[in-house]
Amino acid sequence: MNYLSTKAKALTPYVAGLQPQEPGWIKLNTNENPYPPSPKVVDAIKNADISSLGLYPDGDSTALKEAIAADLGLAPDNIFCGNGSDEVLALAYQAFFSGKDNVLTPDISYGFYPVWGSMYDVGLKTVPVDEDFSVNPDDYRDAKGVVIANPNAPTSLALNLGQVELILRQNPNGVVLIDEAYIDFAKVESAVALLGMYENLLVVRTFSKSHSLAGMRIGYAIGQPKLIEALRLVRDSFNSYPLDMLAQTAAIAAIKDKAYLMETIAGVKDIRDKTIPRLQEMGYHVMPSQTNFLLIKTPAAGELYNHFLGNKILARYWNKPRLNDCLRVTIGTREDMEVFLQCVQAIALATRKKQR
């Protein structure tokens, strides 16, 4: 007997990157940070009051909201915290898009967006990105909602602040959700700068990428109080205690160590910007990245992916239209990227020998 609901039967779940359990792999497939968390995070967890784990955490993450607000120059009622940005995004889909049609999102973007669209009965419409994979703001007009990752994944490209504002102006009747998971690695300004001018703007961020806390699952939204209250309404109809005490403790410590954050972001960007020309010298087309990953375009993407697997290197490959000639590679440590580049060089040399 099939016990699944009609909705569950119709779902096509998001497929995350491989998470190998055995040692020895170079993991460049899930956009994690190659640096460890701030030493202040480690100290904060070590010194946490473990006896309080017997109690429920602060469901509103009050101290964390205050820390985020202070860092951004905002008020705590502009902030909403959740169990990773994925949970925050899912709650936003329920609060602002469920049951609505004409909610627009790029056809090449974060793979979870259409899953939530199906899960929460959203009339999600995908808008084709341009041939160069860029998002054209003119394509987003008169929608009942807009969802855009900026910088976008897996393309690694970003809209500037003026382009984001144009999308906001063109869509006054729906929430414009800007997913800024990778904003700390970008050259463009955050959409948070527009918050005071647009009541329909919701910005979502994560501690997983730039703060090296993917294992703690900490995300947050930034918006006008009415939007934040709507997220609280949906959250409290689902899970009143989304962030555990240790996660809140770790996130507060991470925010306070701004120097470490800037140092590690600079390190990732330096490795990224030194890797790109080396790949280009080998004949590969690499998108101009504003993230902590690279999108490499090559007709041999599938072969390259399998070659990496054979050498215990994990990258991300999608065997589907518009992306089947692309490979996404997370920026790892300098040592990891050197091994990765040597592997690419080896297959490039082997290819040249075959062509002779």
pTM attached to this predicted model:
0.96
Q: What is d(CA 104, CA 210) in angstroms, rounded to the nearest whole number?
A: 27
CA 318 from centre of chain:
17
Whether residue 151 has a cis bond before it, omega within 30° of 0: yes
3-state secondary structure of 195: coil
Side chain identity, residue 95? A
**What digits encode the pLDDT tens for the residues 140-193?**
999 999 999 999 999 999 999 999 999 999 999 999 999 999 999 999 999 999
Give mean pLDDT, residues 84-112: 97
**What digits encode the pLDDT tens for the residues 242-267?**
999 999 999 999 999 999 999 999 99
Mean pLDDT (the chain, rounded): 95
pLDDT class for 17, splitting at 50, 70, 90? confident
pLDDT in the model for residue 350:
62
Q: What is d(CA 228, CA 200) in angstroms, rounded to the nearest whole number?
A: 11
With beta carbons less than 8 A apart as the criterion, state whether 179 and 209 touch.
no
Side chain identity, residue 111? G
Answer yes or no: is pLDDT of 226 > 90: yes
Q: What is d(CA 157, CA 112) in angstroms, rounded to the nearest whole number?
A: 18
**Closest to 251 (Cα-Cα) out of 219, 296, 287:** 219
pLDDT in the model for residue 355:
54
**What digits encode the pLDDT tens for the residues 266-309?**
999 999 999 999 999 999 999 999 999 999 999 989 999 999 99
With beta carbons less than 8 A apart as the criterion, state whether 316 and 10 touch.
no
pLDDT in the model for residue 15:
86
